[in-house]
Amino acid sequence: MRYYSTNKKSNPENLKYAVTKGLASDGGLFMPERIDGFEPKFFKNIHRLSFQEIAFEVAKKFFGDDVEEKALNELVYDALNFDCPVVPVQKNIFSLELFHGPTLAFKDVGARFMARLLSYFLEKSDEMVNVLVATSGDTGSAVANGFLGVPGIHVYVLYPKGKVSKIQESQFTTLGKNITALEVDGTFDDCQRLVKSAFSEKSLNEKLTLTSANSINVARFLPQAFYYFNAYARNGHKDKELVISVPSGNFGNLTAGLFAKRMGLPVSQFIAANNENDIVYNYLKTARYEPRSSVQTIANAMDVGDPSNFARILDLYANSHSAIAADIKGYRYSDEQIKETIKRVYDQCSYLLDPHGACGYQSLEAYLNDKQVGIFLETAHPAKFTETVEAVVGAGNVPLPDKLAEFMKGEKKSIEIDSAFDSFKSFLLSQ
């Protein structure tokens, strides 16, 4: 399959190029030239398939032209050696728990798949690929752990100083080996700008092979469609319309869901659940896209002021605001509203939400009617935000999983840099 740029100013490329380069040469995001759908009979029998079996069928639609089927099957099963269960919270609201992977966040799905796909393409090459990833928390840990020890790849994780939780920070600053953590004096948007600027700097790309493991990379965001199909398969209320609520920051997650819908997935409505970084929420209301500097909230993975993947949504819908607004409804919540929801759901339902999942849950409460069933994405384990969540539900009520406890034992190793691109460029060239 060929991949074209959202900027429409460069030639389409093959999958290997799209994965190893991350961005198109004109600075746009890659999009597949076609989206192959499923026949209705697939959805009649989907409940009989495991998560891994579903993921393989979806992966063939995306990557089957470029990866031999046996290799793709092995890649999927190796990457997705965990489940994504659907858990009841209320009678008509369910949680799609995406925190059962190695770093306890939804990004384990895309990051682990991308690491293995990139390794597949580099298997017969002696080329060193430098993976640049900006993170507001969970992306860095998922990518770092997904690529840890992979030959021919060095990962640079850029994160905003003082703006990720201690547990999140420990997951990518204690690894060493082929992982370098860069502590940027700025915001997530500064980190993302540095990564994007690196790809467009000609002299830098002449000396280094760079790619991104953020959701701007097709190999990171497309696999996220896997768990939307799994959510439908595990939904036991096929007699009701399905509404899926997605905590939204850089909008790669929701974009993957929209791709799933284009493939035939029976979702009647998507909800973009925002915190106070409400740029897309305002777009849905006004048809004006006005990015601005992000503000810091307790749902830090959603602290994005200029979501990269919104370009893909615009492209997918041919820039039609009415079409986008028909498929996506927007809600926004303040820190105080998020805290209130965490407390109320914990007290009434004995279910512990993380701050991002709380936005998704609250949106379903506001939107659903009696003819609908809702699934929200619980994107990370609440223990990754222990200080925030325990301040709401009480100390000692957020058990620390063994996986996270191991990360906390490691020694932090990070390099502090400022947010100027020249500083970042000089650092990369010195390595």
Spot the catalytic one: 8, 44, 91, 107: 107
- Residues 304, 216: contact at Cβ < 8 Å? no
Is 378 strand, coil or helix? strand
Contact between 250 and 304 (Cβ < 8 Å): yes
Helix (H, G, I), strand (E, B) or coil at 23: strand
Task: Note the pLDDT of residue 236.
Answer: 83
Domains of the chain with bracketed CATH: 83-105+221-399 (3.40.50.1100)
pLDDT band for position 404 (cuts 50, 70, 90): confident
CA-to-CA separations, 299 to 72, 211, 339, 387, in angstroms, rounded: 35, 27, 10, 12
365 three-state secondary structure: helix
pLDDT tens digits, 82-130: 999 999 999 899 999 999 999 899 999 999 999 999 989 888 677 788 9
DSSP per residue, 68-79: -HHHHHHHHHHH
Order the strands of the 241-247 sheet from edge to edge: 86-88, 93-97, 372-378, 241-247, 269-274, 328-332
pLDDT score for 125: 74
Q: What is the pTM of this model?
A: 0.90
Tokens 């992000």 correspond to what residue? 294
Asked if residue 168 has pLDDT above 90, the reply is no
Q: How far apart are CA 390 and CA 127, in angstroms?
A: 46
DSSP 6: T
d(CA 159, CA 190): 9
Instruction: Tell me the DSSP string of 333-346.
Output: --HHHHHHHHHHHH
Write the pLDDT tens digit of every residue in 197-246.
998 898 998 999 898 887 889 999 999 999 999 999 999 888 899 999 99
Q: Mind listing the pLDDT tens digit for each residue in 242-268? A: 999 999 988 999 999 999 999 999 999
Mean pLDDT of all residues belonging to the chain: 93
Q: In this structure, what DSSP letter does residue 29 have? A: B
Calculate the CA 217 to chain-centre distance: 11
List all residues 6 or more positions away from 41 whose beta carbon is below 8 Å from its beta carbon: none
Lowest-pLDDT range of 49-58, 168-177, 371-380: 168-177
The owner of tokens 């009841």 is 88
Is 107 assigned a catalytic role?
yes
Give strand pairing partners of 332: 274
Q: By C-alpha distance, which of 404, 405, 386 is closest to 396? A: 386
Strand partners, 159: 183
